[in-house]
Amino acid sequence: MELETLHRRAVEHWAARVTAVKDDQWGDPTPCTEWSVRDLVNHVVGEELWTAPLLRGKTIKEVGGQFDGDVLGDGPLERAGSASAEAVAVVDEIVPGGGRVQLSYGEEDMGEYVRQLCADHLIHGWDLAAATGGDTSMDPELVAEVGAWFAQREAMYRSGGAIGPRQSGRGEPGSDLLAGFGRASDWGPNHAALARFSAAFGSGDVDAIMARMTQDCVFESTGPAPDGQRHEGQVAVRAVWDELFGTTQDAKFTDEDTFLSGDRALVRWRFTWTNDDGSEGHVRGVDVIRLHDGLVAEKLSYVKG
């Protein structure tokens, strides 16, 4: 496929998913675990804004920080649309003539840079659709083109930390491409529900935590030994979180790894706090979680040691 055509179609794939984002979805979690929907769109729009100056010969230093931070402003859909149109126009204009571009890691062939952009638009288009309940299908021709390019670069990308661990595919080109990019192709509502719960827990916001648990929720604590203590219902479970976050200085939970299958999840976490002498304390543990209708119904905690 001609490179300009590949780029145009990859951007159109992305743009169609952006226009489907609803007003109340910008803060929702995505398969990119560190990014909300708005963060994800902001990332890709930022890349599109960089496209013109880089293809026109500017260096990273010359562009500077003008595209740092939030580039979406008060009209994210309009900003995303104009950035996509600008990126397509400049690729159509300049790429047929070939050349080199200056990227963060040094000088690169212009065609290689554009193929990187195509991959980002295709994969992040899927991320966005999965996060918002949109169309997660991918054009087989785009999958084939990006897949052939990526096959020679996957090991390099992973060793450099640009992508996560390879997931299990389903023996189908689109699923296998997503797996190579570290995506679980079955990412869906339960993944989003778990991400929301983990974010609430990480922030220590008890109201947000309880809003993401069922009315008949159950929590089993790690102590006292050997079986822990069982707390049932919103009132009892809230009391545990109120005490934990209300009496522990700088209490913070950070997820280290997550595995989800159906309505069951395993979350490996690290809990840190500040002691009276200013030193940091921590423990590491695992939660066995059951989800129901997009909420956490059961959280059974186990701690190392």
Q: What is the pTM of this model?
A: 0.80
The amino acid that residue 122 corresponds to is L
Could you read off the pLDDT of 90-118 as tens digits, one per residue? 999 999 999 999 999 999 999 999 999 99
* Residues 272, 282 contacting (CB under 8 angstroms): yes
* Number of neighbouring beta carbons within 10 Å of residue 101: 22
Within 8 A by CB and 6+ apart from 199, the residues are 29, 208
pLDDT at 22 over 80: yes
Output the pLDDT for position 186: 86
Q: What share of the chain is helix, strand, coil (3-state, %, to 5)?
A: 50, 20, 30
Confidence of residue 189 (pLDDT cuts 50, 70, 90): confident
Output the pLDDT for position 197: 94
Output the pLDDT for position 52: 97
